[in-house]
Structure 1
Amino acid sequence: MKLKLIPLLLASATMLPGCFEDKTNDAEGIPPAPAVTKENAAAAVNGVYIGKTTLETLEKELAQRSQGQTLPKEQLLEELIQRELLIQQAKQKHLDKTPELVERLNTVKNSLLSQAAIQDYLKTNPITDEDVKKEYDSKMANLGAEYKARHILVKTEDEAKKLIAELEKGADFTALAKKHSIDPMGSEGGDLGWFTADRMVAPFSEAVVALENGKFTKQPVQTQFGWHVILREDSRALTPPPLEAVKEQIRSLLQREKVQAFIENLRKTAQVEILLPPAVEAKPEAEAKPAEEAAPAAAPAPAPAEEKPAK
């Protein structure tokens, strides 16, 4: 059966450190990767063994990237065989000694090392279920309320005041909205449904929060859209989602915060010297040059506007 390369896996940075021998390991005190023997190999290419663990790593990586989807083991092994052939070809041409590739390999290695430092920190300083529950309780306690309201939007304050006067005489809010509101929801009687205060512009939301259920604004409320008359129909406390539904999101958030604090602490205790010159903000051309240099010396000054002859 003819098998094809898998481009996504071919470009996988995770596998790169095992593909090229890193000559700097001994100098940096980093032990070389364990030697692969025939007993723990999945295949051999021109005498070079491909380890079973390499195949397993590739399987796990693919499963993570494709959300659990897998490929036949023989197809993955063929990918590694073809990759090893390309590696051997690159080494024969000494491509692994070029400054560009050495720099890229160092970048990959440093990226993996930084990720390893983060994983090690989280392993020794894990986010516990108790931490997640505490954060959940804190967020849900301040969840706030949501409101159900209607409004009538008109162009002028006087129009809004006239509508308020009609409402005080007992006019039906929905009927007035359908007749006078210029808002698209006017045809629905100005019904805005349920919403949280942060979804509306500040003057509008502040007016809604200040009202009691069943009451309308006694003064018009101005926003950039016009003038509003608002009826707060109802309100209710927001129902928090179950802990089980959001615990992983909370855990991820706490992990990011913990890692950020960890890195900031490392920065504080390190000796960091910025060697690049500070960036210079470009000034407007008019400010960058003296006034006398902005125009040729011989150019006559324009006459003031008030001195120009009338046509």
Structure 2
Amino acid sequence: MSKRTTILLGTALSLMIGLPAHAQETGNVEEAPAEMVKIDANGATVLANVNGEDITLGHLIVARQGLSPQYQNLPNDVLLQGLLEQVIQQTVLGQAIGELSHRAELQLENQRRSVIATEKVDEVISTAVTEEALQSAYDEAYADAEPTKEFHAAHILVEAEEKAKELIVELEAGADFAELAKEHSTGPSGPNGGDLGWFGKGMMVKPFEDAVLTLEPGNVSAPVETQFGWHVVKLNETRMKGAPPLDEVREELAVKIETDAVEMAVQKLLDAANIDRVDLNTIDPAALGNLSLLDQ
């Protein structure tokens, strides 16, 4: 929502929010509730007419969708009044301007293209994600997936090799790894006992990964140097992880299906279109930022 639109809506809402209190000051006479108007199909119910130009419920419904979150959360009774006043204000302003500027005409053309393109994209993705498509995408992505080995390790990160060696001596004497990590580790995992959770090959820096690969579960490494400092590494356990269940990757696959469907639809339309392009090497790129061209 543009800054100018926000100003108009903010003004309209301020006026509307103040109406109930003002109405109460006029007296204590209770009025019978107004008879509800029947809502026409397609939002065609006319809510106002400005110099012969209708403003319908449909106009307000669309306007509401474009509101920023701070306005979206307002009650519908407040928004109904505020949006109507906003659109009335926009209408009288639009009627007062007369002939549109060249810049405004171009903006309207671009907005129309954008709205229509979005409508087509919505149409494409509305039917793209089906259970069959999800299963097919899942099979394509994971049918040949080999189980991979994952590691659950912890570490104590210190600045000097000598400190790492001292900690190893303490561990050999029976000290608790997690407690030493909490006390001495300078890494972000220190407060959590040095626990790094589960990770696979390629997720850690090479010297660290090489050390992990040499360990058996329960063992502690010799001091390992990386660009972060010196590590004392403990391998807690390993596991073989295969393909994730479909439900775990459903959302990820749905996004890919939608993206592929849109790309395919766009490419099909491009292939069928008659498009003549100017050689952009003949256009000065600086012209793209020259707003004064729109005023000529």
CA-atom RMSD in angstroms: 5.0
Q: Which residue pairs with 1:79 in the alignment?
A: 83
Runs of 5+ consecutive residues of structure 1 not aligned to the other structure = 11-38, 281-311
Q: Report the secondary structure of 1:215's partner residue.
A: coil
Q: Which residue pairs with 2:4 in the alignment?
A: none
Is the contact made by 1:152 and 1:228 (CA closer than 8 Å) also made in structure 2? Answer: yes
| Separation (CA, whole Å) in 2 of partners of 1:187 and 1:57 | 52
| Separation (CA, whole Å) in 2 of partners of 1:173 and 1:191 | 14
Which residues of 2 match residues 205-220 of structure 1 at below 5 A?
205-217=209-221, 220=223
Give the Å deviation of 1:162. 8.2
Runs of 5+ consecutive residues of structure 2 not aligned to the other structure = 1-6, 14-43, 285-296
Q: Which residue pairs with 1:151 in the alignment?
A: 155
> Partner letter of residue 212 of structure 1?
E
Considering only CA atoms, is the larger Rg found in Structure 1 or Structure 2? 1
- 1:48 matched to 2:53? The reply is yes
**Seq. identity, %:** 25
> Partner letter of residue 114 of structure 2?
S
Of the three residues 111, 114, 117, the one matched with 1:111 is 114
Gap change, CA 1:243 and 1:68, over 3 Å in 2: farther
Q: Which residue pairs with 1:201 in the alignment?
A: 205
Which residues of 2 match residues 1-311 of structure 1 at below 5 A?
6-7=9-10, 40-58=45-63, 70-72=75-77, 75-76=79-80, 79-95=83-99, 97-123=100-126, 126-135=128-137, 138=141, 147-153=151-157, 155=159, 170-172=172-174, 174=176, 178=180, 183-184=186-187, 191-197=194-200, 200-217=204-221, 220-236=223-239, 247-264=250-267, 271=275, 273=277, 275-277=279-281
| Separation (CA, whole Å) in 1 of partners of 2:85 and 2:217 | 72
Q: Which residue pairs with 1:27 in the alignment?
A: none
Higher mean C-alpha displacement, 192-201 vs 61-70: 61-70
> Partner letter of residue 208 of structure 1?
V
Give the Å deviation of 1:112. 0.9
| Separation (CA, whole Å) in 2 of partners of 1:175 and 1:68 | 50
Is the contact made by 2:156 and 2:190 (CA closer than 8 Å) also made in structure 1? Answer: no
| Separation (CA, whole Å) in 2 of partners of 1:187 and 1:75 | 51
Gap change, CA 1:77 and 1:241, over 3 Å in 2: farther
Give the Å deviation of 1:195. 3.6
| Separation (CA, whole Å) in 2 of partners of 1:89 and 1:176 | 69
Q: Report the secondary structure of 1:86's partner residue.
A: helix
Q: Which residue pairs with 2:18 in the alignment?
A: none
Is the contact made by 2:178 and 2:193 (CA closer than 8 Å) also made in structure 1? Answer: no
Q: Deviations over 1:141-173 (max 9, x none)?
A: 679665432334455667767877x599x5436
Q: Deviations over 1:187-245 (max 9, x none)?
A: 7796325242466434323432453312233x543210233332202234679998667
Gap change, CA 1:203 and 1:108, over 3 Å in 2: same
> Partner letter of residue 255 of structure 1?
E
> Partner letter of residue 148 of structure 1?
H
Give the TM-score taking structure 2 as reference length: 0.57
Gap change, CA 1:42 and 1:175, over 3 Å in 2: closer
Q: How many residues are aligned here?
A: 243
Give the TM-score taking structure 1 as reference length: 0.55
Higher mean C-alpha displacement, 174-183 vs 85-94: 174-183
Give the Å deviation of 1:108. 0.7
Gap change, CA 1:177 and 1:42, over 3 Å in 2: closer
Q: Which has the higher helix share?
A: 2
Give the Å deviation of 1:76. 2.1
| Separation (CA, whole Å) in 2 of partners of 1:246 and 1:6 | 41
Give the Å deviation of 1:42. 2.8
| Separation (CA, whole Å) in 2 of partners of 1:107 and 1:265 | 22
